Amino acid sequence: MSVRFFYDFNEELVKKLTEHFDGEIEAMQFERNQIEQLDNVEKTIRDYFNHIVDQMTEVIKATEGKIYFEQDDEVIGKLGIMNNYLKFTRKNRSIEVKIGYYVPEADLIESIVLSYVVPGIKKAKIKRVGKIHDGSNFDENALNYYMREAFAKLDIFKG
């Protein structure tokens, strides 16, 4: 190998290493994309709950614990109204959506995992528990659906 004047070995080295480790680079970018999708979903959920809690500040204070909101590193948000709740929990590769509702006949709160939000090819998808196919994209309409599932059966909605 002859050395030319103004030869930049660094450029050639980077090019050859990039070609050699192309599969690893693609896998890392794919992994980063999936984590970014879940981070975006988490931000959407936090923004949604923060907006609701801001609107209900007076009500939350007045009910003395009957309406509450919790969040931490693992629990993205848990909104509880009377004996019902809606909870989003960040898992390693998904976000778990769980609701709990009061069953008066048994005098207990039953909880159900409704779905998981998982990374998709371009956008995060909703994966319903017990369903084989991919669901729809996750958006604010999905959050509204989960709110209805968790809180539509409260006594305040019964005529």
pTM of the complete model? 0.82
Work out the average pLDDT over 47-63.
93
Q: Is the pLDDT of residue 7 over 80?
A: no
For residue 90, name the pLDDT band (cuts at 50, 70, 90): very high
Radius of gyration for the chain, computed over Cα atoms and rounded to the nearest angstrom: 23
Q: Is the pLDDT of residue 1 over 60?
A: no
Q: What digits encode the pLDDT tens for the residues 15-32?
A: 888 888 888 989 899 999
Q: Which long-range contacts (CB under 8 A, 24 or more apart) does 85-94 make?
A: 85/150, 86/146, 86/147, 86/149, 86/150, 86/151, 88/45, 90/38, 90/42, 91/116, 93/34, 93/38, 93/118, 93/119, 94/38, 94/118, 94/127
Work out the average pLDDT over 70-97.
93
